Amino acid sequence: MGHSVYDQPDAQAVQAQFGRLLKYTREPLPDVFEHLDASRADLLAFTAFPTDVWRQIWSNNPQERLNKEIRRRTDTVGIFPHRDAITRLVGAVLAEQTDEWAEGRRYFSLEVLKRCRQDPDTDTSTNPKEPKQLTTTQHT
């Protein structure tokens, strides 16, 4: 049922489904209910962005891909002579990934990032570099 929160078409539906999830967990799983309720703003922060980028925001595919690459490189070496050796190797992998992302293989295009920073309720032509302020509300 938890994943169904992310399968909603718009922010209002996400909020409604999250409310149903809370209602579902209140009695049988009070600890889960409390944790979810306290984490509502963090869990639903993605709804402040355009719906077409939601999947990219809450997906952890880039992190999994990076972890897989680190694992592949460390498995190739096998046994490291000391801690500094693995730190250097992982650091090199991270630097390489940073270069790849900076040079063009972006998870979010620059256009998408620009749209995510724009507030649809304001005219961005006056100050296009002004970052969008995200606000969250505490629900009880």
Kindly state the DSSP code that residue 59 receives in the 8-state scheme: -
User: Domain boundaries in the chain?
Assistant: 2-48, 61-110
Per-residue model confidence (pLDDT) at position 105: 61
Taking 80 as the threshold, does the pLDDT of residue 40 lie above it? Answer: yes
Nearest to 135 by CA among 45, 59, 51: 45
Give dist(CA 140, CA 113) in Å, integer. 32
Residues 89, 77: contact at Cβ < 8 Å?
A: yes
Q: Is the pTM of this model over 0.75?
A: no
For residues 107 and 38, the model is more confident at 38
Residue type, 43: L
User: What would the pLDDT profile of 105-135 be if each residue is shown by its tens digit?
Assistant: 666 666 777 777 765 544 343 343 444 444 4
Q: How many helices (H) and strands (E) does the chain have?
A: 7, 0
- CA distances from residue 67 to 90, 113, 133 in whole angstroms, order as listed: 10, 24, 32
Which spans in 45-140 are helix H?
A: 54-58, 61-77, 83-103, 110-117
Q: Which positions ≥6 away from 140 have C-beta within 8 Å? A: 37
Of 45, 47, 27, 26, nearest to 37 by C-alpha is 26
Tokens of 40: 């509502």
